[in-house]
Amino acid sequence: MSKKPHIKIPLPKWTWKQVTITIVVIILACRIDATPALELLKAVLKSWLAP
């Protein structure tokens, strides 16, 4: 029986502040008009993930 290779997805090493802000923005996006909140989330994620 051979092992199948798994896909490794690199996850960013976030601080607890970044995780908390992301969760809050996602919750707000679900409760209010999603378009502005999702645009804000995209901008924040791009700034954190940029090298």
Which residue type does 37 have? A
The DSSP output letter for 10 is P
Q: Using one digit for the tens of pLDDT, what is the confidence trace for 6-49?
A: 787 776 787 888 888 888 877 877 777 667 767 877 888 788 77
Contact (Cβ atoms closer than 8 angstroms) between residue 20 and residue 44: no
User: In angstroms, rounded to a whole number, what is the distance separating the alpha carbons of residues 35 and 28?
Assistant: 11
The confidence score (pLDDT) of residue 27 equals 80
User: In angstroms, rounded to a whole number, what is the distance separating the alpha carbons of residues 6 and 46?
Assistant: 26
* Confidence category of residue 51, pLDDT binned at 50, 70, 90: low
User: Which pTM was predicted?
Assistant: 0.44
User: In angstroms, rounded to a whole number, what is the distance separating the alpha carbons of residues 37 and 5?
Assistant: 37
